[in-house]
Amino acid sequence: MSSEIFVWPFNLGLYFILIYSVVRSTVWFRNLSRPDKLRLQRGFFGIPFMQSIKEIFMESLLHRRIFKKNFVLGYMHMSLAFGWFLLIVFGTIEADFFGEKHLNPPSHAIFFRAFNPDHGAVGLARAYTHLMDFLLAFILSGLLLAVIKRFIPSMMGMKKTTKHTWSDRTALLSLWLIFPSRLLAESFTCGTYGSGGFLTGNLGAALASFLPAAEIAPWFWWLYSLALGTFFFLLPVTRYFHIPIELLLIFMRNSGITTGDKSSSYTEVQTHACSSCGVCIGVCQMSYAAGINDIQSAYFIKGLRSDRDIAAITANCLMCGRCEEACPVGIELGPMRLIERRQGERPDTAKRFLERYSLTGRRSTIERESTQSYGYLVREEAESADVLFFAGCMTHLTPSVISAMKKIMESAGVRYRFMDEQGGVCCGRPLMLAGRDREARELINHNSDIIWKSGARILVTSCPICYKIFRESYYLEARVMHHSEFINLLIEEGSLRLGYLHRKVVYHDPCELGRGSGIYEEPRAVISYVAELQAVPEEGTMSLCCGGSLGNLTLSSGKRALIAADAARSLTMSSPDELITACPLCKKTFGQATGTRVSDIAELVAAALPKPVKKSRGRPARVTTKSLNHG
Amino acid sequence: MSVRQANRFGFGINQSRQINYDTSDRKVRDYVTLREPSFRLCFACGGCSATCTAGEHISFNLRRMITLIRRGEIDLLRDEVTRCMLCGKCMLVCPRGVNTRNVVAMTAEAIRKLDRNEL
């Protein structure tokens, strides 16, 4: 081929995207907080670096997590990512090895066949040509699956795929065009010169037999170059920007950077690392149980990226955390949504426009004004106690849980004080979930004051919602325990004598306790101790939300009921005698959604207490003395 | 006899508190109803107020708040709405399925906008 002009669309695109990525990464790095900068620097010259390289290979190229989820979907991603990667690597080697000079520009490797049309006739070069053909066929097989997936998602095990913006569509089209145009360009060239491997050689020979291959070939080389160039130019404004940015995200995450509670470079990087793959849509209960299909994390992130007003999307989420568990990229979706909820109104359009097209691209908002104030709360004189029991607002709506806890603690001889027996103050978590951190802080201070003054060493709560905020946002000396953990401790210490109930039960992990706080084992240990625990379809990290979540301010009660009914159906599939949960809110929600008896774990344990319950006040508090040593 | 004249004689007469629904300020009510349609469903049973966490510490009453919204008594509403802790107990006891937490959140938002003349 005499003229080399056709490589320029590719060259321009490649240099543009390289420069853009470097500049953007530099700006992000500059905007990181000082500790995060240090983390990243340290992570770059240590063990985290090797971990990142391994993770990039396993996830960004092989797509192991998607493979685990669905083989065909995994194969599709792997063939496109790993296949393209190998094609570039082997293409570069080929150009370097067989080309006329070493250290060629990238275009020589990409358009190798155009510059060396008669290459690969004999020996090693011929075998190598077959290898390159095999890689191209490998990618094309993945591309075929991708095309099928776009039109028939269910064939790839996906309930839904994301809806695309126009820029995404154009980029997708150019991405789809890249490999077929390469195939045809190589085939026509090979057909003209009688070279090529098993794919391009045979196809080329067949095409050249009835078409003027020599005249057509340049057109497809142009198409190939244009498709690549267009793809590179569109990359920063489309979802495909995740390809370079995910690498950065993996380095940052392995260096120990976390989302935190403020918008930062890291949230920006996470926003761009989302590939809009749609896995979050498939696992969202609001999608498949309640038919709400426009608020899922993929759309949330997409809204962030294109700087739209997404207040409605942000608010309408149960915050159950299933999408975060399922996300193949590992984006911290829950914290990101909370950050967005904390924001007040958006600045005016002109300012946003400037910010959007500046290099930092930081999404800015006006700080939210305080709407609530609790100056009316009176600080009480707290009684001292070793164990403090905080039932929580929701537990007051399920008095049976409170009386069960009282029975259990009395039976075990625990000296406790009931902190909110006369009705306490909310823990602050609901406010925090609504993005009102400043107001929540007032309640946190009030409750902390009571807990500190009581001198308690253990704080037991019956509500996972309170449990999570006690552990994460309160500064306490007391060890915070959910009642399932506390009962487990009592059993392990031998303070609690229990019978065995001949009941088949299933356990539902409450979102805030399981995914929210990582407590999976203790409740199961307690239940297995007193009854027969059966497995349910989706449990542990992928357990279902009951639908009653306080994380959602706007979801209507009708939609909540749909989610509850669907979750209850899945949980009671094995027709257990009882559905056990560890959250008063889940208990209330499931109670209306299923005919199966719904009990709290405390009620189950209380039923297994030997009757009649021995009043044992005044016995030494064995639990406190022992547990303190390792608390 | 006017109120001031009556007071001079040592009689305390309350200001007339008749509500004219035709002239009352409907902005907050319309704002809340548009964004939280279940607001219409409330039939003032008072279950929310009986269970309220904040109500145990101070005179806060969601039922009264809803009445104030409907009557357009914004001045009384302004303080009332700041007291809620959004704990969600009222939502669970509500027999009509009113999304009470969002009613409170939307009312607070409406009043803030009203004070800035954006409503």
Tell me if B86 and A430 make a contact (CB, 8 A cut-off).
yes
Residue A616 in this model has a pLDDT that exceeds 70: no
Distance CA A129, CA A116 (A): 12
Mutate to test the interface with A, among B87, B98, B113 (most CBs of A within 10 A): B87
Q: Global pTM? A: 0.86
Interface confidence, given as ipTM, is 0.86
Q: Which of A373, A374, A554 sits opposite B102 (nearest CB)?
A: A554
Q: Does domain A504-607 have CATH number 1.10.8?
A: no
Distance CA A188, CA A186 (A): 6
| Of A169-173, A570-574, A586-590, the least confident | A169-173
Judged by DSSP in three states, A445 sits in helix
pLDDT band (50, 70, 90) for residue A2: very low
Q: Do A557 and B99 touch (CB under 8 A)?
A: yes
- Nearest CB to B108 within list A371, A548, A557: A371
Q: Is the pLDDT of residue A440 over 90?
A: yes
* Cβ contact, residue pair B87, A426, below 8 Å: yes
Report which of A628, A554, A67 is spatially closest to residue A294, judged by C-alpha positions.
A554
Query: Nearest residue of A to residue B81 by CA position?
Result: A372
A369 touches chain B (CB under 8 A): yes
How far apart CA A490 and CA A408 sit, in angstroms, is 9
Mean of the pLDDT values across residues A195-220? Answer: 88
The residue with greater pLDDT, B1 or A162, is A162
Burial class (CB in 10 A: 0-12, 13-18, 19+), A545: buried
Nearest-CA distance A626 → chain B (Å)? 35
Note the pLDDT of residue A308: 82
Q: Are B85 and A443 in contact (CB under 8 A)?
A: yes
| Nearest residue of chain B to residue A559 (CA atoms) | B97
CB B74, CB B25: distance < 8 Å: yes
**Gap between the Cα atoms of A73 and A274, Å rounded:** 17
Q: Does A585 touch chain B (CB under 8 A)?
A: yes
Are B92 and A548 in contact (CB < 8 Å)? yes
Could you tell me if A414 lies within 8 Å of chain B, comparing CB atoms? no
Instruction: Answer whether B56 sits within 8 Å of A422, measured CB to CB.
Output: yes
Instruction: Among A535-539, A581-585, A587-591, name the one with the lowest average pLDDT.
Output: A535-539
Cα B30 to Cα B76: distance, rounded to the nearest angstrom? 17
Give the one of A376, A434, A557 whose C-beta lies nearest to B83's C-beta. A376
Inter-chain contact B53–A393, Cβ cutoff 8 Å? yes
Cα dihedral B46→B48→B49→B52 (10° resolution): 170
Structure tokens at B106: 């939307």
Among the partner residues A443, A553, A558, nearest to B105 by beta-carbon distance: A553
* pLDDT bucket at A260, cuts 50 / 70 / 90: confident
Q: Which amino acid is at A487?
A: I
How many CB atoms are located within 10 Å of the residue A343 CB?
A: 17
Cα dihedral B68, A342, A542, A396 sign: negative
Q: How far apart are CA A391 and CA A463, in angstroms?
A: 7
Interface subset of B 35-64, CB within 8 angstroms of A: 36, 38, 51, 53-54, 56-58
pLDDT along chain B (119 residues), means of 10: 66 70 85 94 93 90 92 88 92 93 93 86
Residues from chain A contacting residue B36 (CB–CB below 8 Å): 554
By Cβ distance, the residue of B89, B101, B102 closest to A397 is B89
Mean pLDDT of A508-512: 95
A327-385 pLDDT tens trace: 989 999 999 999 999 887 777 666 766 766 666 556 666 667 777 888 888 877 777 88
Find the CB nearest B89 among A373, A394, A554. Answer: A394
Q: Spell out which residues of chain B touch residue A434, defining contact as CB-CB under 8 Å.
A: 86, 101, 105
Is the CB of B85 less than 8 angstroms away from the CB of A557? no
- Top-confidence residue, A190 or A162: A190
Which chain B residues are within 8 Å of A395, Cβ to Cβ?
Answer: none
pLDDT at A609: 92
pLDDT at A375: 84
The pLDDT score that the predictor gives to residue A355 is 67
- pLDDT tens track for A273-321: 998 888 899 899 999 999 999 999 999 998 888 888 888 999 999 999 9
Alpha-carbon gap, residue A401 to A397, rounded angstroms? 9
Per-window interface: B 69-88 vs A, CB < 8 A: 81-88
Mean pLDDT for A521-528 is 96
CA distance A554 to chain B (A): 6
Round the average pLDDT of chain A to a whole number and report it.
Answer: 88
pLDDT tens profile A100-151: 666 778 888 888 888 888 887 777 888 888 999 999 999 999 999 988 888 8
Domain with CATH 3.40.50 in chain A: 387-493, 504-607
With beta carbons under 8 A apart, name residues in chain A contacting B85. 372, 374, 425-426, 430-431, 443
Q: To 10 degrees, what angle do helices B62-71 and B27-35 make?
A: 120
User: What H or E segment, with its residue span, contains residue A480?
Assistant: strand A479-482
CATH number for the domain formed by residue range(s) A387-493: 3.40.50
pLDDT digits (tens, 9 = 90+) for A389-408: 999 999 999 999 999 999 99
Q: Please compute the mean of the pLDDT values over residues A206-216 and round it to a whole number.
A: 87
**Residue A1 clears pLDDT 50, i.e. is over it:** no
Is residue A602 less than 8 Å (CB to CB) from chain B?
no
DSSP state, B81? G
Question: CB distance B92–A588 less than 8 Å?
Answer: yes
For chain A, percent of residues with pLDDT exceeding 90: 56
Asked if pLDDT for residue A464 goes beyond 60, the answer is yes
How many other CB atoms are there within 10 angstroms of residue B20's CB atom?
8
- Distances, alpha carbon B103 to alpha carbons A299, A558, B33, B62, B109, in Å: 26, 16, 8, 10, 10
Cβ separation A371–B51 shorter than 8 A: no
